[in-house]
Amino acid sequence: MEQKVREEFAHTLVIYCSDGRFAPACEHFIRQTLGEEWYDRFIVPGGAAWLCLDVLTVWEHEMARRHISFLVDAHRIQRVILIAHQSCGFYERYRLSPERTVQKQTADLQAAARILHERFTGIAVEAYYLRIVDGQPCFEPVTLQTPDEPLPSSAPRA
Ligand SMILES: [Zn+2]
């Protein structure tokens, strides 16, 4: 079937892992549930993990920063969708338990969202965690801090 190439840039960017086992589920979720038919993709092992700077991702962080900045500026990206997934090989380098791995992935999604909000004003960011439940993909929204939301205060109430 003939498919025309669109002339306009997409204004949504999706960042997820290269692992091909999860790509069809991610694409289906983005189209059917999130309603995005047309979007840019930054697909690398570990996905949003590349945005988070730590001793094991110095090189990845620099690459992600450059390429994502290019896309957001050149294509005037307004919405960014981050997806992390269960059993992600990228996270094996941290040698954590399965529970701690999920915690790190969630923290990375939150940190990536914060980095994107700091770098690009007015951008909308959302994040999801893909779990496998009875062999089926299950996308759970990850709570993110919005830029206007004050940091949780531990100060005692008057
Ligand atoms: Zn992965």
Q: Where are the domains of the chain?
A: 12-142
Compute the distance from residue 143 Cα to the ligand 1 centre, in Å.
20
CA 122 to centroid of ligand 1, rounded, Å: 28
The rounded Å distance from CA 70 to ligand 1 centre is 23
* pLDDT, tens digit (0-9, with 9 covering 90-100), for 69-89: 999 999 999 999 999 999 999
**Contact criterion met (CB below 8 Å) for 79 and 14:** no
Segment among 18-22, 50-54, 137-141 with least mean pLDDT: 50-54
Question: What gap in Å lies between CA 123 and CA 142, rounded to an integer?
Answer: 17
Residue 128, beta-bridge partner list: 83, 141
- Strand-pair partners of 129: 84, 140
Of 28, 42, 16, 20, the residue nearest 128 (C-alpha): 16
Q: What is the pTM of this model?
A: 0.89
- Report CA(24)–ligand 1 centroid distance (Å): 13
What is the arithmetic mean of pLDDT over 59-66? Answer: 93
CATH number at 12-142: 3.40.1050.10
